[in-house]
Structure 1
């Protein structure tokens, strides 16, 4: 590394790092931290939504839809798109620009050595845990009185959610929950590559969680305490319980998922009775 005009210039140590450094040098660190993060967010978000959008046109996949009688009509999806894009452009983008000096002052950089694969996985895992804890308590609070009636209720316009509705929310809610999204990367890494990697997996997780589809082959089912689409869909359908964004243990601990598990147990018994009748 060289010290040029008081700034450290890192030299790449592998091909991926060289590619990333060339990318950063071409667009510029300041541009990428604010505007680049906005464009990365848009790409990750809508690419995550695309496969679930296509599921609506594959008849064989209808059996995996959690609320099969609900149809994601074009008008609903178009109105959702307008609301989401409005929030992205007029809330998230200005927020990224306004807070750019503060983000830079705490040490977020783009042209720094990339994390090792293991450390990146560690940051992603811890980020999920931190964001989930923050989200549970804030989300539960947003279901109270004034906060629900005038702010969080917007997100519940979709009782049968679909992927794009993940960020369909009141601007104030977007700002509040955005804090939880940033906790892990800012506390543990402060490099743009890790922040974008986290954005990619977190956006896919929240889009999948709101997708309205529960596929038995989803690899996240192997992750302990993972909630998934079926768990969160219950929250949208009933407006109560299952407040966590990712995991189930906070809801289990505080009893806010009792109604969900009671329904699951009841449906299991109904299926067993039906199977027994068919067997006779």
Structure 2
């Protein structure tokens, strides 16, 4: 019994000590391009949704706005080789603007990779990655809690068509929480749903990274959020910081940074919304 109590006390001491240590380390998010982020949190570096190809490497997405344009629309703002040594990789879903052939080829195969479900994990393993983990409500990377959140990558009408439902697929986000750090909600690709609103109200994140490029599926509207959604997030969590990404890099994203900046300014929320350029680092 004494051993159990001592073991518990030691574990608690280690967690508290780790929290005190990381409390002095500021978190940061660097927008690389599109939804690709370098996220330093709790003393660890996460590479999220890596799309590492050169400008114009892939055809535009069929059936979407501006499909004649080749993706990505812009070059990486940093050398791809500088992104290849994270502590862990998180893939919210397998669409090629979040997990592309260049990333699959370049990233070290021994790095831990978190996938949203078993199906995605199997695909990632088949590419040679050795340590693939499935996200859940209770996932951890060392002492950092990673909580999977659901997302809906398009309208109910789009998902009612089997072929489109298969293409859009399942998507996810991740909620990060660590003693001594601000909580961070990486929303992932999705539109506004009751489930998303519940996530905001239940999790109450300090920082929300919102894919806000308003990507358009012809005939079915948005498949990720747009400027009005930025305002709605603020109205629910007025003290939170919103970081808007997934803009100006993929053919079907029609919301520009300029338009979003003008919108948040006109609504008096510029102090709560950060719209980073590619390569920009935000510390908090």
Verify same fold: TM over 0.5: no
Bigger Rg over Cα? 1
Using structure 1 for the length normalisation, give the TM-score: 0.26
Which one has a larger percent helix, Structure 1 or Structure 2? 1
Using structure 2 for the length normalisation, give the TM-score: 0.26
